[in-house]
A and B are shown apart, each in its own frame.
Chain A
Amino acid sequence: MKKKNVMGICTAVCICLLILWLLQALLMPKYMSESQEGALIAEYYDEAGGNDVIFIGDCEVYENFSPITLYEEYGITSYIRGSAQQLIWQSYYLMEETFKYETPKVMVFNVLSMKYDTPESTGNLKHREAYNRMNLDGMRWSMSKWNSISASLTEEEKEWGGNWSYIFPILRYHDRWSQLSSEDFKYIFKRDEVSDNGYLMQVNVKPVTSEHVEKPIADYQFSENCWEYLDAMKELCEKHSTKLVLIKAPSLSPVWWDQWDAQIEEYAKKNGLLYINFLDYQQEIGIDWNTDTYDTGLHLNVYGAEKLSSYFGKILKDEYDLEDHRNNEDMSSQWTKKVNSYNERKKLLEDIRDNKN
């Protein structure tokens, strides 16, 4: 009698857990059609390995660089581990996690996030929470993920369960039950690839109309907290014999102050790191702000990204002895598929854009 009871309870508990697991998978946002940047982090794991260059950072990496171009023109294999408004500690832990899957020759980090000392300093906290979810939900479970979550929590998140809402995302997304769409059912267990090795393609054109201006600030010094994470990144790369390259993407907004530029330059010089502020090389890159941006200069579209990648690829090739994988049979067959997929996507998006007009 008692054994039957215990069996019954165990079965009930298992069924309950199964139902909850299914519900959780159903209720989590899929990011397949809207907010595609949310899908980026999770996409990496299928492609992990074989990348000589890894980009880490915010939208200034995943919208401005094209790994396909780097491969096509230089045979460089790369992946962009970027996510929306990725903060520096999130970048650090992502970098740390990436080293578990592969050891690239070069890690490229976009330094814009040095301006954000804390989650609160980003301004809009509602958006910050949404960015956190996009940055963190997609990571596979590891100490890196746990630490990244702990460092990222906004006050509101801490009020509503903190880390628990990441361990059990159903606690965060439970009220999506009244907003479910067919997409939630279609993608409950699978995922479409929204990016090309981490590059989120944009084909639209919205030219720069006027200069992006920001108000002056009192203190341009980057915070202790951010310097510590930058140091940690440097040490992490040294430990793995990976070259750390600091970049500032050629985005016209947010404003990259000269005072900030100077601090990074000094840091790079002191630590023997390469630092490129692409804003200084717009002409050389060939950026045309009438055709190469989809959002008035905040980010490049695919046409601009290809130009920038072409420019940067040469630097990478010259500075670091990177293999030309076009000669490698395995790699080239893999990447040919990627190139084809990239071109198909470009055509599809351009058709949609042109039909709309």
Chain B
Amino acid sequence: MKKSIVLAVIICIMAIVFAGCGGQSTNTGSSDGKNNEPTLSFTVNGTKVELGVDATDILKSLGEPKSVTEEASCAFEGLDKTYFYGNFYLTTYPNGDKENIYSCWFVDDSLSTDENIYIGATKAEVESAYGAESFNGNNAYVIKKGASMLTIIIEDDCVSAITYDAIID
């Protein structure tokens, strides 16, 4: 009899060892929201352009752009900016007082990705650089890293466009 009681108690405790909480909700607020995961980037004239990060230093390093326009949607004035550097565009979105890199896209074949893909490269070259699994089944290769995305659009078996996007909420 006593053995059984002890056994039962031990089993209870063992089970409690595996029991979880369900009670006190610890609604302790959100994390600081900083995404410290590495994101995609490419290099132009020695400047590393990363997606989703503070644009201040990058813009300074890239020097004077050929043009700057302010993009907006319905009635929303002057927030997203587009910088043109001759061979690529770079857009930013506001982040408090600063701006963050939102997206970039190449204009000609003078720039290439870190994996040496450029506008005009063949589909085969893209596949060997990024793998067949990144193909979206339609006409583009999509590579994700952290909170960023690289889209390589294929037309007539050649790369027709290369765009980088930050994924923000």
Contact = CB atoms under 8 A, between A and B. Distances in A.
Do any beta carbons of A and B sit within 8 angstroms of each other in the complex?
Answer: yes
Interface of A: 37, 58-60, 63, 84-85, 122-123, 125, 127, 131, 209-219, 253-254, 295-296, 298
Contact of A218 (B68, B78, B139): B139
B159 to A, nearest CB: 11
Contacts, number: 65
Contact of B103 (A60, A215, A218): A215
Contact of B138 (A214, A218, A254): A218
Given A37-B74, A219-B138, A295-B72, 16 more contacts: A63-B75, A84-B75, A131-B74, A210-B67, A212-B69, A212-B82, A213-B69, A213-B84, A213-B89, A215-B89, A215-B103, A215-B163, A216-B105, A216-B161, A218-B136, A218-B142
Given A218-B140, A219-B138, A219-B139, A213 B74 contact: no
A122 B78 CA distance: 17
Contacts of A218: 136, 138-140, 142, 151, 153
A134 to B, nearest CB: 9
Task: Give the interface size bracket for B toward A.
Answer: 20 to 34
Contact of A84 (B74, B105, B151): B74
A58 B139 contact: no
A215 B82 CA distance: 10
B160 interface: yes
Given A85-B74, A131-B74, A210 B69 contact: yes
| A-B pairs with lowest CB-CB distance, top 10 | A59-B74, A218-B140, A216-B161, A215-B105, A85-B74, A210-B67, A84-B74, A215-B163, A218-B153, A210-B69
Q: Which of B68, B76, B89, B138 has the most CB of A within 10 A?
A: B76
Nearest to A212: B69
B44 to A, nearest CB: 16
B75 A37 contact: yes
A298 B74 CA distance: 8
Nearest to A215: B105
A302 B165 CA distance: 36
A253 B75 contact: no
